Structure 1
Amino acid sequence: MQTIRIKAVPADTGHQTGQGAEKDLLPLFAGAAVAVGAVGAVLALVDLSSPLRGPFTLFFLLAAPGAAIGAALRALTPWGRAVVCVSGALAVNLLVAQGMLALHMWSVRGGVVAVAALSSLVLLLTAGRRLRRRAAQRRSS
């Protein structure tokens, strides 16, 4: 059996691999995702009839809790974090819907607001925890 080896390109040659271009596009895709989610939330809250309302709102309902959970679980591997984010987003949406139905308070607007509030709460708690860790590290060093 023959082993195939790939020669590494030295970093100082100026040769750019595809990885740099991917890193440049990541903020662009993140910004586009935030914009699509925000448009979906606004379309649902305003109750504007648009063919984009359903898909964009669904994207918001899946992406907002998924991003919040993903920010809280940075220690996991990327595939593990993706699985946890998707399942956590589905769980948050199902729990919000079940809670609102049990309380006889179901509405699309209320569901979008509740999911946004829970996602914001998780993000704020994560940011607060990181700030406390940084402050503790500064004091100890």
Structure 2
Amino acid sequence: MPLCAGAAVGVGAVGAVLALADLASPLRAPFTLFFLLLAPATAIGAALGRLDPLGRAVVAGAGALAADLLVAEAMLALHLWSVRGGVVAVAVLSAAALLLTALHRWPGRARRSRTP
């Protein structure tokens, strides 16, 4: 399983690099699409740690599609649409969600007590 996860991250990273560098390659479109679905799905799936695996996969996939559509809609409404900008926006959104999840699960953070 870790080998498959590593391969998926590699394919997503190659897709992001191909899109950001604007390289002409037949692999650019499928790898970039894979990145645009994988990055938000991973962030959402990490936040849903207690769900069963199938439910987490379904919710993460639907959430990834919704996040991509919201980014595209916002960029189109603001007349800022570009492929590079979309990839960067999705990457930043996904990284922020992963960072917030990691900070929320930080083992050494102080817990608030409810006793007065």
Which residue of the partner structure matches residue 55 of structure 1?
Answer: 30
Which residue of the partner structure matches residue 65 of structure 1?
Answer: 40
Which residue of the partner structure matches residue 69 of structure 2?
Answer: 94
What's the % identity of the aligned pairs? 71
Distance 2:53 2:9 in 1: 20
Structure 2, unaligned runs of 5 or more? none
1:79: how far off?
1.0
Q: State the 4+ residue runs in structure 1 displaced beyond 3 angstroms.
A: none
Decide whether aligned partners of structure 1 residues 53 and 135 sit closer, same or farther in structure 2, where only a CA change above 3 A counts.
Answer: same
Post-superposition CA distance 1:83-118 (Å, at most 9, x none):
101100000000000000000000000000000000
Q: How many residues align?
A: 112
Distance 1:115 1:88 in 2: 12
Matched, 1:42 2:20: no
Decide whether aligned partners of structure 1 residues 135 and 56 sit closer, same or farther in structure 2, where only a CA change above 3 A counts.
Answer: same
Query: Does 1 or 2 have the higher relative contact order (CA < 8 Å, sep 6+)?
Result: 2
Which residue of the partner structure matches residue 135 of structure 1?
Answer: 108
